[in-house]
Amino acid sequence: MRISIIIMLTIIFNIFLYSQSNENYTNSKISIDLEQALDLAVQNDKTLKQAEYDVRIAQTQKDASFSDLFLPSLTVSGGLNLSEPKEYQYNNFNTGVYSSADTWNAQATLSKTLFTGFRNWNTDKAREINLQMMKDTYFDERKNVAINTQLNFYNTFVAQENYKVYYQQQLNYSNRMRESYIKYRNGQVSEYEYLNAKVQYESTKPQLVTLSNNYESLKLTFIRQIGLTNVSDDVELIGNILDATKIALPDLDINVILDLIMANNIELNNMANNIEMLEYNRKVARSYLWPTFSANANVGVTTIDKLKLDNNKEFYKDRSGEFSWGVGFSLNYALDSLLPFSSTAKAAEEIKLSIEQMEIRYDQLRDNIEINSRNLISTAKSQELTLQSQAENAKTAAYALQMAQRQYRGGTISTLELNDAELTYLNAQLAYLQAIYEYFSSTLQVLKLLGA
């Protein structure tokens, strides 16, 4: 009997633990604020990882050109020959001594092209510019990841707040429908007023479902973008939508702002770097105008068998290694490259034309960026005014709704008037939320162009 009781208690205890663990698992959520989202986005963004590899590849190319510029080439070789031994002859007499069946040799050669018309030097400088360009692109991509993460974070928050506003509106309609029904049953209002309140309540249901689905979709898209694989319900975004209003444009003259934008624009900087790289490539192509000067040094050792006489006037074979060395210089000049119609001359001319074409594209791009920047700055400033106006409208609409609710409870205004106040409040709140996001979006993009 005692054993049965112990077994039953053990089973009940295990069931209790299992239910508690399930409850903890199902109720566990990941809470993410904006800073955590930014960290996750930087860690998991695939485009940023590719840009990081571009930097590493450019660094490897730069290291290779540096090696070509300063490091000599060292070559070692060796050989072993096997052949049939032959008897040495001395004054046409057989000596009875045979050569070795094997001979071997080893050699080391150190060579370096000392001058190539600055080809290696210009190649190294071009790759140095390319490396810096890849680094600038990487840091610009980090800014893009940060901006997109912030925009998507607050866009999801706007959808959440829109849902809350509509949900509160539905609660108001639900309460009014119940009040109207009670008053209708008591003969205080007509059936029409009750039915009208019921229609208002029912009409909010589809829209609320649509907003809920839109919010869940945006949240799921956002958590995938920052690298999380959880479902939408497992993640909770925490923060305050009003934090998006804390950024502002610097209080500077627009021409000063434009100068800063031009100095920090990644497209302009990359194109300027490309023009400079092409100039170095043109110098590489024109290196045919200079001679090529090279030097080499080699050392070697080879086994040699020699016939010798000992003190007894008998022949014997003496095997030893023979050391050798040498130093050489060479000067080369490709005369055919001096012809204006040669392929090397045409290659340099092609690069020159490409430089001139890119300079025109640079001026065109600069003009387009100036126009777009002016429009973006104007938009950000107008959005700031719109935000202030919508904030005041939302505040006024909230106050008006409170007055209407008090008057409705006091019986001094009708349901229709209260409905108008609620609709005005709803539209004001939605317009205010949208103004917050549009102000944040336009201002953030200008700050990114400024290098902030």
pLDDT digits (tens, 9 = 90+) for 264-278: 889 999 999 999 999
359-368 mean pLDDT:
93
Tokens of 169: 């509106």
Give the pLDDT score at 57. 95
Q: What are phi and psi of 451, to 5 degrees?
A: 85, 15
Is the per-residue pLDDT at 13 higher than 80? Answer: no
In the chain, pLDDT over 90 holds for what percent of residues? 34
Q: pLDDT at position 28, please?
A: 66
Q: What contacts 283, CB < 8 A, 6 or more positions away?
A: 118, 122
pLDDT tens-digit profile of 159-217?
Answer: 988 888 888 888 888 888 888 888 888 887 788 888 888 888 888 888 888 888 998 99
Contact by Cβ (8 Å): 328, 295: yes
The residues near 216 (Cβ < 8 Å, ≥ 6 apart) are: 232
Better pLDDT: 336 or 222: 222
| Backbone φ, ψ for residue 106 (5° rounding) | -140, 145
pLDDT at 41: 92
Cβ burial of 380 (10 Å; 0-12, 13-18, 19+) is buried
What pLDDT, on the 0 to 100 scale, is given for residue 193? 80
Longest dimension (CA), the chain: 151
Q: What is the pLDDT of residues 396-450, one digit of tens each?
A: 999 998 998 888 888 788 777 888 888 899 899 999 999 999 999 999 989 888 8
Average pLDDT for the chain = 84
Residue 395 pLDDT greater than 90, yes or no: yes
CA distance 407 to 320: 121
CA distance readout (Å), 353 to 45, 348, 349, 350 = 38, 9, 6, 5
The string over 205-235, giving b where at least 16 C-beta atoms fall within 10 Å of a residue's C-beta and e elsewhere, is eeeeeebeeebbebbbebbebbebeeebeeb
C-alpha dihedral (21, 26, 27, 30), degrees to nearest 10: 110
Do 296 and 110 touch, CB atoms closer than 8 A?
Answer: yes
DSSP states of 55-80: HHHHHHHHHHHHHHHHPPEEEEEEEE
Kindly report the three-state secondary structure assignment for every residue of 317-386.
Answer: EEEEEEEEEEEEEEEECCHHHHCCCCHHHHHHHHHHHHHHHHHHHHHHHHHHHHHHHHHHHHHHHHHHHH
Residues in contact with 451: Cβ distance below 8 Å, sequence separation at least 6, in sequence order: 260, 263, 264
| Span 15-43, pLDDT tens digits | 444 444 333 333 467 888 999 999 999 99
Encoded amino acid at 322, one letter: E
- In this predicted structure, the answer to whether residue 334 has a pLDDT above a threshold of 90 is no
The residue type of 372 is N
Whole-number pLDDT of residue 11: 42
Query: What's CA 349's distance to the chain center, in Å?
Result: 36
DSSP state of 294: E
Instruction: Give the pLDDT score at 254.
Output: 87
